[in-house]
Chains A and B, each alone.
Chain A
Amino acid sequence: MLSGILDFINNLFSGLFQKKKHVKIGLYGPPNGGKTTIANKICKDWLGENMGKASNVPHETRKVNVKEQIVMKSNGKELTFNLVDTPGIATKIDYESFMKFKMSAKKAKQRAKEATKGVIEAIRWLDDMDIVLVVLDSTINPYDQVNITIIGNLAARKIPVLVVANKTDLKKSNIKRVENAFPQYKVVGISALKDKKMEDFYTALFKLVK
């Protein structure tokens, strides 16, 4: 009984202080949504440097990358956080699909192996997140099971979510469709690559944290 009360007090206080000091913001979503491009844009805007390599070949990010102590400022407010860029979550990985990008079979198999490990690592990091940005390609149908599973998991874990509909610079972009798919969540449409609506994104992020 006494140890239970002590645990409760300990959790309460450690929760209060640790959360404020080390807010972890995770970028999650299917491959090729633009997670690393957004991570790079955030790092460029607030640290003046890039975070990782982005490319159009799926599963370019195959390990979780963390950038610590990013200080973001908006309307006189300040937010310090660690940004976690995760590998894209998928239910299938076919090494032959990488060979379409002029990759040898050996390299493609190696990439597939690393990609599967990356998905597992990304899932295992979910519990550590304080806030998650679910990054979706706004030109693609959002009713994908991976998106639904990620968001369902975050809801079960009570982790605040901001849905980022990326690639709005492209003709086929459809933010409304993303909003209709996830009506319970705030959706912000941006193009991280073309630097469009990033201010709206930062404002939404601040609102979610504060």
Chain B
Amino acid sequence: MLTLQFIPHHEIEKLDSEARINKLLDGVKNNEIVLLEGRLESEEETKLIERTMEDISPIFKGVELCTIYPHKRRSKKLDVGNLIKSGLIKILLGNKEGLTIIGPATIVKEIKRDPKKIQLLIKKGKR
């Protein structure tokens, strides 16, 4: 059976970085695919990779990770309107925007992403 754990952003917003990472990794180590409302800071994402590497063993083989930001800037041109818009969204929502998917590498084979879709590929016999 495949288990998805949804973590609303308010459950992590008051936690420090260490506690946030622990909360996410605890779910993953419990063989759950964790869906976090919003995203981590980019430094926290790196810290998550670092912590994952520290914990790797013949049983825990790491994670598959994907973050989705709906308002990611995609142009080289400096668009003042978009900059103000994204600045306001950042002030109002912080990192609540978007979605983070983290799954154990023993279950999630790959999270394929391109500009149009995201595919979560599960390993055979793990459903």
Query: Which positions in A face B, CB cutoff 8 Å?
Result: 89-95, 109, 112, 116-117, 119-120, 123-124, 126, 141, 143-146, 148-149, 152-153, 155-156, 180, 183-184
Contact A119 B49 (CB under 8 A): yes
User: Nearest Cβ in chain A — how far from B93, in angstroms?
Assistant: 17
Contacts of A93 in B (CB 8 A): 53, 56, 61-62
B73 within 8 A of A: yes
| Structural contact, B61 and A92, CB atoms closer than 8 A | yes
The answer to whether B50 and A183 have CB atoms under 8 Å apart is no
The interface residues of chain A lying within 8 Å CB-to-CB of B114 are 141, 143
Contact of A143 among B46, B52, B74, B115 (CB under 8 A): B115
B34 interfacial contact with A, CB 8 Å: no
Complex interface: chain A residues within 8 A of B73 (CB): 184
The reply to whether B49 and A123 contact each other, CB–CB distance below 8 Å, is yes
Interface of B is mostly: mixed
Q: In the bound complex, how far is the Cα of B111 from the Cα of A141, in angstroms? A: 11
> For the complex, what is the distance from the CA of A120 to the CA of B74, rounded to whole Å?
30
Q: Contact at B42–A149, with CB atoms within 8 Å?
A: yes
Interface pair A92/B75, CB less than 8 Å apart? no
Among A92, A95, A153, residue most surrounded by chain B Cβ atoms (within 10 Å): A92
Residues of B within 8 A of A184 (CB): 73, 76
Interface residues of B (CB under 8 A from A): 41-43, 45-46, 49-50, 52-54, 56, 58, 61-67, 73-76, 105, 111-115
B41 surroundings in chain A (CB, below 8 A):
156
The A interface, classified by DSSP as helix, strand, loop or mixed, is helix
- Residues B105 and A92 in contact, CB atoms below 8 Å apart: yes
- Whether B50 pairs with A92 at a CB distance below 8 angstroms is no
Whole-angstrom distance from the CB of B77 to the nearest CB of chain A?
A: 9
In angstroms, Cα B49 to Cα A93, docked, is 11
For B50, the chain A residues whose CB sits under 8 A away are 119-120, 123-124
Evaluate contact between B45 and A149: CB separation under 8 angstroms: yes
Residues in chain A near residue B45, CB distance under 8 A = 149, 152-153
Q: How far is the CB of B46 from chain A (nearest CB, A)?
A: 5
A92, A95, A116, A145: the one within 8 Å of B66 (CB):
A145
Q: In the complex, what distance in Å separates the CA atom of A97 from the CA atom of B74?
A: 35
In the bound complex, residues from chain B placing their C-beta under 8 Å from that of A109 are 58
Q: In whole angstroms, what is the CA distance A183 to B75 when docked?
A: 6
Q: What separation, in Å, do the CA atoms of A92 and B53 have in the docked complex? A: 8
Of the candidates A116, A124, A144, A153, the one whose C-beta lies within 8 Å of that of B56 is A116
Contacting residues, chain B, for A120 (C-beta < 8 A): 50, 53-54
A152 pairs with B58, CB closer than 8 A: no
Checking A94, A143, A145, A183 against B105 with a beta-carbon cut-off of 8 angstroms, the contacting residue is A94
The 8 Å CB contact of A145, one of B43, B58, B65, B75, is: B65
**Distance in angstroms between the alpha carbons of A95 and B15 in the assembled complex:** 34
Q: Say whether B76 contacts A95, CB under 8 Å.
A: no
B49 to chain A, nearest CB (A): 6
Chain A residues closer than 8 Å to B64, beta-carbon distance:
91-92, 145
Cα of A91 to Cα of B75 in the assembled complex, Å:
28
- 21 inter-chain pairs at a CB distance below 8 angstroms, sorted by A residue, are A89-B49, A91-B49, A91-B63, A91-B64, A91-B65, A91-B105, A92-B62, A92-B63, A92-B64, A93-B61, A112-B56, A117-B53, A119-B49, A144-B113, A145-B65, A145-B111, A149-B45, A149-B46, A149-B49, A153-B45, A156-B42
